[in-house]
């Protein structure tokens, strides 16, 4: 007996039962133990941060991350899955600040770095529970208990090792650069972080006059017009840049006739338009004429009064170090005035100008002018606005310029500007700052070469998004002037400024004269619950100092910075094992990864950080002394991952980005509770290729259920119902159930080899095994979308053809076993369906692990107990049995299915319902299928049965019903005939098809005369012969042929049709009365119609057997249900009642 099955699946409940089973039996662990020692399939978990709630996108990632490890495990490989959590960084700090109601660095310092860090460490686990629940709920098998955690000491020390390596190789350096700076947060951000914060804003756009100076240093009547959208940078102005080969003009505006202005010629008119005034051009000259001219800066905070001070150049001349026109290539006429205000402190390009200028000077070089403090306020060097946040001063600055008549024009300018990605009201500014960088740009080519070897899916990521990103690589801005992160392990000599990197905590403790460890010890004593991992974090680590190796008596102090948390995640391939300090075996065997997958936003994130770190540390140029694992492929590429599925972004119900505030998506738990994890997983896998953006809509998820899961469930439920009725037991006498593969099943009682079974069974098994082939091929190529579709087609074939065509066998009398009253054909049907169901469940297991497990438990573990795998996930993925695959039969069965379908179409067209028997159906096969004619005729019974007709034949006179058209096979003739093709085409159109076909038959070729007088000889293979139904017949055509239905209805046929109508009504009535389908009934009819009465009498026998009637009378029964029917216009009253108690079948 199989456990009875719910008619309607309740997936969430089933899933909960299965999950409990897995847990109590430790199935995941067993699935690993099962494969220990086998070839490894290496998977890396990109660490999510448990600092926020999981959302639907995470369900997708986790589903994909589960699919391939499950599949590979079933394929015999050993796939460890170690979870991981990303725990450092700004997101955590910002969350904590929010909860404390503070914002700035000063406030954090005031609160205290130590308690702040404690808060951060606690906050990291805030949504841990939700994450773990979700992970299990979607069926993502991963070892959460051994998860790596980026703040753990061993992890931090691995990162330290990596940083020390880079430092020792000169690849980690401190540079003074213009960085994107978050003033309120007091730290620089990486380009990736900056990129996340761009937002469209309206900034003031000002056109400012820079009056040119005369020889004595006094302002003249003539001014340059510079344009900027950041007025706050004007006090720090240092140069004005022009383009040498651009034409500039001196002009006078009608509304301002006293002064003259200089700007690029192509932009002059548009500025006049903006000012709503007219313009008078006084003279024009090339930009080169302006180079070297001196001007009065808009603010005098740095400029002493009087004549510009001259400084010696290397060339022997001398020039002022500031407020001078210089030439620059980057000046364009796209916008502005063609004169660019240069403030080197606040722009990378501007800073480049300064560096270039500095090279020209002899001894004293131009200083960097900067009147903005790191916190974003003006310094005392700009007294009028000192202490105010620069972005808040734009209005006052503009007003000031206007009052001094230096403001030529002002407007609003709409553009994208970066804000802090974690504090989105804080604008970022470009700012000069000493910061630590990794020389990634030096490894650009190595990274590109490494990238070249990675199998990206979709392919275009390699050359496109990711390749471009690598090609434009800039040095990694690594350091963060923050608190909660991996501390930069660099200690600096207080006297000499010389630095060294420390690769491990132990190494630090063994330094001479080390002190400061007591700070953590004391904290631990005060708070025993404090995590030991915090000893390597701020502020404790900062307390540790030691004797300088560079100068006697000096001490070494750690630099204050922590690092970008993306470096943490990128170090995960080795840091998850604490390598190289520990975990050498693990790293050896788990690197590089065979498979990773994340969403596309990780191109600049985890995909990059992994590749960059791996290339720098383990690439061919590496001089790292600790060697990478011996498993490294010979040429060293690709690493650290070979195959990467880049997932599309998930969109909300409305197709736009998911957003909490827009409420355009349902919480994952709601979907999971309502439809189940398998439904969600199947939707993800089968809905679209994974790299498409995917719409997370409840409707779409709901509607994806019937097509596959429900259909499969219905077949399963059908099987269980009838197998129980018929006593089908697969375990009877089976010697070795194995994995219930075809060959194992062969040892069972009542099992006949496929070759001895009906064609339908052989077809079904052929489809099953062909599908297994397709799926393995697709999944090996990481194409689960194609695999899912193949699986779905298989289920359609089982449900809509095999079960449908096998009903008679399932309902035939006799037991489904090898006993004396056993029925061999019935047995075959059960064995076939049993094999199909168990094998399909295994094929589906990586996709829908819960439902397939439910099948396995009932179909396999139920009858066999401990003789089969206790879980479907401990079985092997089905390997196709090549001997069972049969392409000819597949084609033929497809043909017969089309014939049946066309027959129904023809009936529908002629309004002849299937209940009405017809005399004959004729088929005209397309030329392409003519060889299957004999086979089709041998299946006449099947066609007749499907279409409810008396006879089936291949049409003897096809010309009655069809016309044939000869079309050129363009694919074949195109390359051969080229430009002649259209002529051949029209010639064939005009030619008589029958003549051509005769010619093909008789001579193998036919000659076609073209309009240009030439002849072309073509063979039948060059053509496609199309068959088209003529009008006037009940016919339907498809690609494989034409089906014609005889629409003539004889009185006999009509009578039979009427009886079938009555049978239909009786069956409905049985159902209405809620009778068991084994209940016998008595029938009584009353009708005025002689015709109907005769029909019923004539077919009383079939009427009785179809409806399980023990008696049929032509008078109404006492105490029976009455129903009045209309059969073809004849009134009939039917009475029906149960004949006896139901008896078991």
Residues facing 103 on adjacent strands: none
Query: What is the rounded distance in angstroms from the CA atom of residue 407 to the CA atom of residue 376?
Result: 24
422 touches RNA (CB under 7 A) = no
864 touches RNA (CB under 7 A) = no
343 touches RNA (CB under 7 A) = yes
930 touches RNA (CB under 7 A) = no
Among 166, 488, 647, 803, binds RNA (CB under 7 A): 803
Query: What is the rounded distance in angstroms from the CA atom of residue 966 to the CA atom of residue 953?
Result: 25
Interstrand relation of 1081-1087 and 1109-1113 (parallel, antiparallel or unpaired): parallel
731 touches RNA (CB under 7 A) = no
662 touches RNA (CB under 7 A) = no
Closer of 369 and 593 to RNA (Cβ) = 369
- Which region, judged by CB under 7 A, interacts with RNA, from 57-65, 378-386, 459-467, 884-892? 459-467
Give the rounded distance of the alpha carbon of 774 from its chain centre.
Answer: 22
- Which region, judged by CB under 7 A, interacts with RNA, from 358-366, 457-465, 741-749, 1046-1054? 457-465
Closer of 338 and 619 to RNA (Cβ) = 338
Token pair in block for residue 597: 């997958």
CB of 409 to RNA, least distance (A): 14
CB of 1104 to RNA, least distance (A): 11
Residue 292 DSSP SS3: coil
Query: What is the rounded distance in angstroms from the CA atom of residue 151 to the CA atom of residue 160?
Result: 12
- Which region, judged by CB under 7 A, interacts with RNA, from 285-293, 858-866, 899-907, 1095-1103? 899-907
Closer of 68 and 713 to RNA (Cβ) = 713
Residue span 620-649 as binding mask against RNA, x where in contact by CB under 7 A, dash where not: -----------------------------x
CB-based contacts of 463: which residues, under 8 Å, 6+ apart?
Answer: none
**Per-residue burial over 1001-1016, b = 16 or more CB atoms within 10 Å of its CB, e = otherwise:** eeeeebebeeeeeeeb
CB of 968 to RNA, least distance (A): 6
413 touches RNA (CB under 7 A) = yes
601 touches RNA (CB under 7 A) = yes
Query: What is the rounded distance in angstroms from the CA atom of residue 950 to the CA atom of residue 808?
Result: 18
Instruction: Give the Å distances, CA to CA, from 144 to 47, 85, 588, 871.
Output: 12, 10, 22, 21
- Which region, judged by CB under 7 A, interacts with RNA, from 168-176, 376-384, 753-761, 1060-1068? 1060-1068
465 touches RNA (CB under 7 A) = yes
Site for RNA in 68-97 (CB under 7 A): none
53 touches RNA (CB under 7 A) = no
Site for RNA in 944-1003 (CB under 7 A): 967-972, 974-975, 978-979, 981-982
191 touches RNA (CB under 7 A) = yes
CB-based contacts of 506: which residues, under 8 Å, 6+ apart?
Answer: 581
Cα atoms in the 13 Å half-sphere on the side-chain side of 1132: 28
Closer of 7 and 1051 to RNA (Cβ) = 7
CB of 862 to RNA, least distance (A): 19
3 touches RNA (CB under 7 A) = no
CB of 729 to RNA, least distance (A): 19
CB of 1062 to RNA, least distance (A): 11
CB of 963 to RNA, least distance (A): 11
Query: What is the rounded distance in angstroms from the CA atom of residue 500 to the CA atom of residue 168?
Result: 8
335 touches RNA (CB under 7 A) = yes
Q: Which residue has the tokens 């548009």?
A: 270
CB of 194 to RNA, least distance (A): 6
**Per-residue burial over 963-996, b = 16 or more CB atoms within 10 Å of its CB, e = otherwise:** ebebebeeeebeeebeeebebbeebbeebebeeb
Find out whether 206 and 271 touch, Cβ atoms under 8 Å.
no
- Which region, judged by CB under 7 A, interacts with RNA, from 132-140, 294-302, 499-507, 1058-1066? 1058-1066
For residue 261, count other CB atoms closer than 10 A to its CB. Answer: 26
Instruction: Give the Å distances, CA to CA, from 1143 to 915, 1067, 1139.
Output: 30, 18, 11
- Which region, judged by CB under 7 A, interacts with RNA, from 36-44, 213-221, 697-705, 1048-1056? 697-705
125 touches RNA (CB under 7 A) = no
710 touches RNA (CB under 7 A) = yes
Q: Which residue has the tokens 């970022």?
A: 428
Site for RNA in 11-50 (CB under 7 A): none
495 touches RNA (CB under 7 A) = no
Query: What is the rounded distance in angstroms from the CA atom of residue 302 to the CA atom of residue 381?
Result: 8
1049 touches RNA (CB under 7 A) = no
913 touches RNA (CB under 7 A) = yes
Number of residues that bind RNA (CB under 7 A): 108
707 touches RNA (CB under 7 A) = yes
Helices (H) then strands (E): counts for the chain: 42, 40
CB of 421 to RNA, least distance (A): 10
- Which region, judged by CB under 7 A, interacts with RNA, from 123-131, 162-170, 224-232, 880-888? 224-232
Find out whether 535 and 160 touch, Cβ atoms under 8 Å.
no
Q: Which residue has the tokens 């006293």?
A: 258
Site for RNA in 1104-1133 (CB under 7 A): 1108
Among 220, 963, 1007, 1039, binds RNA (CB under 7 A): 1039
Task: Give one DSSP letter per residue of 1027-1041, joined into a string.
Answer: EEEPTTSEEEE-SSE
Site for RNA in 270-289 (CB under 7 A): none
472 touches RNA (CB under 7 A) = yes
Find out whether 1035 and 1045 touch, Cβ atoms under 8 Å.
yes
Find out whether 326 and 239 touch, Cβ atoms under 8 Å.
yes
Among 804, 960, 1030, 1094, binds RNA (CB under 7 A): 804
Instruction: Give the Å distances, CA to CA, from 824 to 718, 728, 821.
Output: 19, 12, 10
Residue 951 has φ and ψ, to the nearest 5°, of -145, 150
Find out whether 82 and 92 touch, Cβ atoms under 8 Å.
no
Residue 707 DSSP code:
I
Closer of 75 and 341 to RNA (Cβ) = 341
Closer of 297 and 336 to RNA (Cβ) = 336
Q: What is the 3-state secondary structure (H, E, C) of 629-640?
A: CCCCCCCCCCCC
Among 356, 700, 781, 1131, binds RNA (CB under 7 A): 700
CB-based contacts of 158: which residues, under 8 Å, 6+ apart?
Answer: 571, 574, 575, 577, 578, 579, 580, 581
Query: What is the rounded distance in angstroms from the CA atom of residue 640 to the CA atom of residue 591?
Result: 7
CB of 763 to RNA, least distance (A): 16
Dihedral over alpha carbons 845, 849, 852, 854 (to 10 degrees): 150
CB of 1030 to RNA, least distance (A): 13
CB of 736 to RNA, least distance (A): 31
Residue 628 DSSP code:
P
Candidates 895, 954, 924; CA nearest to 1025 is 924
Closer of 544 and 844 to RNA (Cβ) = 844
Closer of 468 and 496 to RNA (Cβ) = 468
355 touches RNA (CB under 7 A) = no
Token pair in block for residue 1106: 């179809």
CB of 972 to RNA, least distance (A): 7
Whether residue 638 has a cis bond before it, omega within 30° of 0 = yes
Token pair in block for residue 421: 């990605």
187 touches RNA (CB under 7 A) = no
694 touches RNA (CB under 7 A) = yes
Among 1067, 1089, 1097, 1133, binds RNA (CB under 7 A): 1067
8 touches RNA (CB under 7 A) = yes
Return the active site residues.
47, 86, 566, 602, 606, 657, 660
Whether residue 592 has a cis bond before it, omega within 30° of 0 = yes
693 touches RNA (CB under 7 A) = yes
């Amino acid at each position: 007996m199989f456990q009875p099955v719910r008619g309607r699946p309740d997936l969430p409940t089933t899933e909960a039962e299965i999950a409990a089973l897995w847990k109590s039996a430790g199935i995941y662990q067993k699935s690993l133990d099962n494969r220990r020692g086998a070839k490894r399939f290496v998977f890396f978990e990109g660490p999510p941060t448990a600092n926020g709630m999981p959302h639907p996108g995470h369900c997708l990632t986790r589903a994909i991350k589960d699919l391939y490890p499950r599949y590979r495990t079933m394929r015999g490989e050993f796939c460890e899955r170690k979870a991981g959590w990303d725990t450092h960084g700004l997101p955590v700090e910002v969350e904590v600040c929010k909860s404390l109601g503070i914002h700035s660095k000063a406030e954090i310092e005031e609160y205290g770095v130590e308690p702040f860090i404690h808060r951060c460490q606690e906050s990291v686990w805030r949504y841990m529970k939700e994450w773990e629940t979700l992970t299990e709920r979607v069926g993502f098998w991963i070892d959460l208990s051994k998860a790596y955690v980026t703040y753990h000491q061993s992890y931090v020390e691995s990162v330290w090792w990596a940083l020390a390596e880079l430092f020792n190789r000169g690849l980690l350096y401190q540079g003074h650069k213009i960085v994107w700076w978050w003033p309120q947060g007091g730290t620089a951000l990486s380009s990736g972080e900056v990129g996340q914060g761009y937002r469209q804003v309206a900034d003031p756009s000002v056109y400012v006059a820079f009056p040119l100076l005369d020889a004595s240093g006094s302002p003249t009547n003539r001014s340059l017009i510079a344009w900027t959208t950041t007025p706050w940078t004007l006090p720090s102005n240092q140069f004005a840049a022009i383009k040498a080969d651009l034409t500039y003009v001196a002009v006078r505006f009608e509304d301002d006739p006293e002064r003259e202005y200089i700007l690029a010629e192509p932009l002059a008119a548009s500025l006049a338009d903006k000012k709503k005034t007219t313009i008078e051009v006084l003279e024009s000259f090339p930009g080169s004429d302006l180079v070297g001219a001196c001007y009065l800066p808009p603010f005098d905070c740095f400029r002493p009064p009087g004549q510009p001070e001259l400084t010696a150049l290397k060339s022997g001349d001398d020039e002022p170090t500031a407020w001078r026109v210089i030439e620059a290539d980057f000046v364009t006429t796209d916008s502005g005035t063609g004169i660019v205000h240069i403030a080197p402190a606040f722009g990378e390009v501007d800073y480049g100008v300064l560096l270039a200028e500095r090279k020209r000077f002899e001894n004293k070089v131009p200083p960097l002018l900067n009147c903005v403090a790191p916190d974003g306020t003006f310094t005392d060097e700009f007294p009028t606005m000192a202490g105010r946040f620069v972005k808040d001063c734009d209005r006052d600055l503009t007003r000031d310029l206007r009052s001094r008549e230096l403001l030529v024009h002002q407007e609003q300018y709409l553009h994208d500007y970066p804000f802090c990605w974690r504090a989105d009201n804080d604008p970022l500014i470009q700012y000069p700052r000493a910061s630590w960088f990794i020389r990634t740009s030096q490894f650009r080519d190595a990274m590109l070469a490494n990238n070249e070897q990675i199998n990206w899916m979709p392919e275009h990521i390699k050359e496109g998004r990711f390749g471009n990103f690598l090609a434009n690589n800039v040095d990694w801005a690594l350091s963060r002037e923050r608190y909660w992160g991996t501390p930069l392990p660099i200690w600096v000599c207080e006297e000499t400024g010389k630095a060294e990197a420390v690769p491990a905590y132990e190494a630090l403790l063994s330094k001479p004269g080390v002190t400061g460890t007591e700070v953590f010890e004391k904290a631990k004593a005060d708070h025993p619950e404090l995590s030991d991992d915090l000893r390597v974090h701020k502020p404790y680590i900062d307390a540790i100092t030691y004797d300088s190796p560079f100068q006697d008596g000096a001490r070494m102090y750690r630099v204050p910075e922590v690092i970008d948390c993306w470096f943490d995640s990128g170090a995960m391939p080795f840091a998850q094992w604490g390598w190289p300090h520990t975990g050498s075996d693990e790293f050896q065997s788990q690197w590089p990864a065979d498979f990773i997958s994340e969403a596309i936003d990780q191109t600049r994130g985890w995909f990059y950080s992994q590749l960059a770190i791996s290339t720098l540390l383990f690439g061919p140029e590496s001089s790292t002394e600790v060697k990478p694992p011996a498993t490294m492929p010979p040429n060293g590429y690709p690493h650290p991952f070979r195959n990467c599925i880049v997932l599309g972004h998930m969109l909300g119900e409305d197709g736009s980005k998911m957003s909490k505030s827009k409420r355009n998506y349902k919480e994952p738990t709601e979907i999971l509770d309502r439809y189940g994890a398998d439904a969600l997983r199947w939707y993800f896998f089968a809905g679209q290729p994974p790299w498409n953006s995917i719409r997370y809509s409840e409707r779409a998820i709901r509607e994806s259920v019937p097509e596959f899961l429900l259909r499969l469930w219905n077949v399963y439920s059908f099987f269980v119902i009838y197998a129980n009725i018929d006593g089908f037991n697969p375990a009877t006498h089976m010697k070795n159930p194995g994995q219930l593969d075809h060959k194992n099943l062969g040892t069972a009682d009542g099992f006949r080899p496929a070759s001895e079974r009906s064609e339908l069974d052989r077809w079904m098994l052929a489809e099953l095994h062909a599908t297994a082939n397709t799926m393995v091929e697709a999944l090996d190529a990481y194409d689960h979308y194609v695999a899912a579709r193949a699986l779905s087609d298989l289920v359609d074939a089982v449900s809509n053809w095999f079960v449908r065509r096998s009903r008679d066998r399932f309902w035939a009398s006799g037991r489904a076993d090898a006993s004396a009253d056993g029925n061999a054909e019935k047995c075959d049907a059960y064995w076939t369906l049993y094999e199909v169901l168990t094998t399909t469940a295994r094929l589906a297991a990586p996709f829908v692990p819960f439902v397939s497990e439910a099948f396995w438990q009932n179909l396999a573990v139920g009858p066999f107990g401990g003789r089969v795998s206790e879980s479907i996930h401990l079985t092997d993925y089905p390997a196709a049995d090549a001997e069972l695959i049969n392409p000819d039969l597949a084609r033929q069965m497809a043909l017969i299915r089309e014939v049946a379908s066309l027959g129904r179409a023809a009936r529908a067209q002629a309004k002849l319902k299937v209940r009405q028997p017809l005399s004959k159906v004729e088929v005209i096969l397309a030329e392409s299928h003519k060889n299957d004619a004999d086979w089709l005729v041998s299946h006449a019974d099947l066609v007749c049965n499907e279409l409810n007709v008396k006879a089936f034949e291949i049409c003897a006179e096809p010309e009655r019903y069809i016309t044939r058209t000869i079309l050129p096979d363009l694919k074949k003739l195109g390359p051969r005939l080229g430009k002649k093709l259209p002529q051949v085409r029209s010639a064939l159109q005009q030619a008589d098809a029958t003549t051509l076909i005769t010619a093909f038959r008789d001579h193998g070729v036919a000659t076609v005369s073209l309009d240009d007088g030439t002849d072309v000889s073509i063979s039948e293979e060059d053509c496609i012969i199309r068959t088209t139904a003529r009008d006037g017949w009940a016919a339907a055509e498809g690609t494989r042929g034409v089906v014609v239905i005889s629409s003539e209805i004889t009185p006999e046929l009509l009578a039979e049709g009427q009886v079938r109508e009555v049978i239909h009504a009786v069956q409905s009535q049985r159902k209405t009365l809620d009778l068991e389908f084994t209940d016998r009934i008595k029938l009584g009819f009353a009708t005025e119609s002689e015709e109907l009465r005769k029909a019923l009498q004539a077919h009383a026998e079939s009427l009785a057997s179809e409806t399980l009637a023990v008696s049929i009378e032509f008078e109404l029964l006492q105490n029976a249900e009455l129903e009045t029917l209309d059969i073809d216009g004849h009134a009939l009253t039917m009475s029906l009642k149960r004949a006896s108690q139901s008896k078991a079948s």
